[in-house]
Amino acid sequence: MLTNLTIKNYALIDELYVSFNTGLTIITGETGAGKSILLGGLSLILGKRADLSHVKDKSKKCIIEATFDIAKYNLKTVFKTEALDYESQTIIRREILPSGKSRAFINDTPVTLNSLQILGERLLDIHSQHQTLQLTNDDFQFQVIDALAKNEKLLSVYTTLLKEFRQLKTELSSLQEKKNTALKELDYHSFLLKELEDAKLISGELELLETEYDTLNNVEDIKERLSISHHAMNNDEVGIITKLTEIKHQFSKLSGYSTKYHSIYERIQSSLIELDDVSSEIESLQESLDADPSRLDQVNSKLQIINNLLQKHTVSSVEELIEIKENLGSKVFETENLDTIISEKETAINTLEAKLISESETIRKNRLAIIPKLISQLESILATLGMPNARFDIQLEQAESFLNNGRDTLQFLFSANKGGQFTELKKSASGGELSRIMLAIKSILSKYMQLPTIMFDEIDTGVSGEVSNKMATIMQQMSKTMQVFTITHLPQIAAKGDTHFKVFKHDVNNVTQTQLKQLNLDDRIVEIAQMLGGKDVSSSAIAHAKELLN
């Protein structure tokens, strides 16, 4: 419910602060006093676009701030979805800057107008004859029927299933398209994959093959150089080992004379051991080297295969070729198994479709069961509101496809006159009739669901005193479970309020300002008397006003 409202520097309002209570709140005032200004300010709270022309002093900031008690509204999910901090006492603020820019805040968090609209429509419903067009909207009509049919949980399950169903259908369509494209490329991918698989690629083998190729291709030259090296080390006369052995022998004798000779002897001995090892390794390399034309052809052939593949796939390493092979393998496997994947997806879709049909049938059954009750209640209420011949024919037809709220299409048909033909509501009901129908629907809805605060803007226009009295009674009943405001010119309605405010203009320093004042009992008597008989209040008008209030 709306608990507080602050308006600064907006239209004819310099500064206004007012607190509201539960129940039925009446707002009265002369034509042009500024009731529309109040509604305009509240519209900004609901996310209406700001207009700099509404700012009273364009050198100052305009502020409209409203506090709502939302503890009973079950809005935590909305706050979470919009990434807002939930507060049971939620403050919504709009600011219009002198530059013309507008800012919006929910609990001091900056928000977009879209977020403001999403939350605002859950908090405050400003109803005028213009808003009665909502009656002709399918979504609203379904909302009414589903509220009475208690379909909320069923629709929640249905919506979740429908989202998953549509997602699977999208995925299936994508898979089928992918299959068509993949089949065209399958032969080529399979060819490339077989070519890479036949190459039997091993990570790091290119470098090994190149080394082996160089060795096999130059085996005679390598053997000759190894032989020369071995001979230079082991020749009996001039070999390095022979000469070093002779030097070792000499220092063996010298080491007995001084430790410094012994040190050199040990170093010579160490070098000789290393040279012997080198000589043995050279000899082993010699013995292992043999010309192998067959192996050379094998290595050369493998190198050509690898190099051709590197060039073909425009890469520089065997590792990259292996990665390409794995990717091609995945594509070929996926293509060859797409039928299985598609079949599994189709099975899942069929399962979901069966569930959706079952849920939608239950939803439809509940709707069909409640429609006669809704028609009866509407016609009964409208009869008390001066429309005794109002008749409804609500038709529910099954759709071929799944819709957002089931598998039904809806027609709200209406006839205002006895014996009249049923036609679409928007074509057959006048503005005044639509207002009364909306009041009837809202009064019925208030018994089945937690509605936001509602503000009726002169919904009583053009109705008689007796009908207005019935209207007031309906609004009074609604106000037992929700907060109701009504802006009225009729004393019969004004007298039914739990709280009564008057909108009025007055001049301050030759500047006209609009103010809102809460009336006490005496003030209400005078106000209602003036509504009955004009500004010159008579004793009979006072008596009549007291009677209405009692």
Pick the residue with more confidence: 129 or 162? Answer: 162
Which of 296, 312, 338 marks a domain boundary? 338
Domain count along the chain: 2
Task: Determine the pLDDT at residue 289.
Answer: 73
The pLDDT > 70 percentage for the chain reads 98
Phi–psi pair at 137, nearest 5 degrees: -90, 130
In a domain, 160, yes or no: no
Q: Do 4 and 88 belong together in one domain? A: yes
For range 37-55, the mean pLDDT: 86
Q: What would the 3-class secondary structure string for 203-228 be?
A: CCHHHHHHHHHHHHHCHHHHHHHHHH
pLDDT at 431 over 80: no
Judge contact between 26 and 497, C-beta under 8 A.
yes
CB under 8 Å to 414, separation ≥6 — which residues?
Answer: 390, 391, 392, 393, 422, 423, 424, 425, 428, 429, 437
Element (H, E) at 326: helix 318-336
pLDDT at 294 over 70: yes
pLDDT at 130 over 70: no
Task: Determine the pLDDT at residue 131.
Answer: 58
Judge contact between 488 and 462, C-beta under 8 A.
no
Task: Determine the pLDDT at residue 11.
Answer: 86
The string of pLDDT tens digits covering residues 500-511 is: 999 988 887 788
The string of pLDDT tens digits covering residues 322-353 is: 888 888 888 777 777 788 888 999 999 999 99
User: Which of 174-183, 257-266, 470-479 shows the highest mean pLDDT?
Assistant: 470-479
Q: Do 187 and 102 belong together in one domain? A: no
The token pair at 278 is 């080198």
Which CATH number fits the domain that encloses residue 27? 3.40.50.300
456 by Cβ neighbours in 10 Å (0-12 / 13-18 / 19+) ranks as buried
CB atoms closer than 10 angstroms to residue 417 = 11
Q: Do 114 and 245 belong together in one domain? A: no
The pLDDT > 90 percentage for the chain reads 35
Pick the residue with more confidence: 348 or 301? Answer: 348
pLDDT at 464 over 90: no
Mean pLDDT, all residues of the chain: 87
Listed range (376-390, 450-464, 491-505) with the worst mean pLDDT: 450-464
Q: Do 101 and 186 belong together in one domain? A: no
CA distance 549 to 537: 16
Task: Determine the pLDDT at residue 542.
Answer: 92
Pick the residue with more confidence: 166 or 437? Answer: 166
In a domain, 427, yes or no: no
pLDDT at 129 over 70: no
pLDDT at 472 over 80: yes
User: Is the pTM value of this prediction over 0.75?
Assistant: no
Task: Count Cα atoms within 13 angstroms, Cβ side, for 8.
Answer: 13
Which of 312, 338, 364 marks a domain boundary? 338
The token pair at 546 is 């007291």
Q: Do 195 and 318 belong together in one domain? A: yes
For range 159-166, the mean pLDDT: 96
CB atoms closer than 10 angstroms to residue 119 = 25
CB under 8 Å to 51, separation ≥6 — which residues?
Answer: none
Q: Do 182 and 94 belong together in one domain? A: no
In a domain, 23, yes or no: yes
CA distance 226 to 463: 122
Q: Do 219 and 321 belong together in one domain? A: yes
In a domain, 38, yes or no: yes
Domain around 18: 1-128+458-519
In a domain, 281, yes or no: yes
Q: Do 185 and 312 belong together in one domain? A: yes
With cut-offs at 50, 70 and 90, classify the pLDDT of residue 107.
very high
For range 388-415, the mean pLDDT: 91
In a domain, 193, yes or no: yes
In a domain, 344, yes or no: no
With cut-offs at 50, 70 and 90, classify the pLDDT of residue 134.
low
Which of 338, 362, 392 marks a domain boundary? 338
Judge contact between 34 and 56, C-beta under 8 A.
no
Beta bridge partners of 515: 504
Pick the residue with more confidence: 498 or 253? Answer: 498
In a domain, 240, yes or no: yes
The string of pLDDT tens digits covering residues 222-274 is: 878 888 888 888 877 778 888 888 888 888 888 878 888 888 888 989 998 99
Element (H, E) at 44: helix 35-45
The token pair at 137 is 């909207």
Q: Do 118 and 191 belong together in one domain? A: no
CA distance 541 to 536: 9
Q: Do 309 and 236 belong together in one domain? A: yes
Q: Do 193 and 317 belong together in one domain? A: yes
Long-range contacts of 168-176 (CB under 8 A, 24+ apart): 168/345, 168/348, 168/349, 168/352, 169/349, 171/345, 172/342, 172/345, 172/346, 172/349, 175/338, 175/341, 175/342, 175/345, 176/342
CA distance 511 to 95: 23
CB atoms closer than 10 angstroms to residue 134 = 16
Judge contact between 195 and 309, C-beta under 8 A.
yes
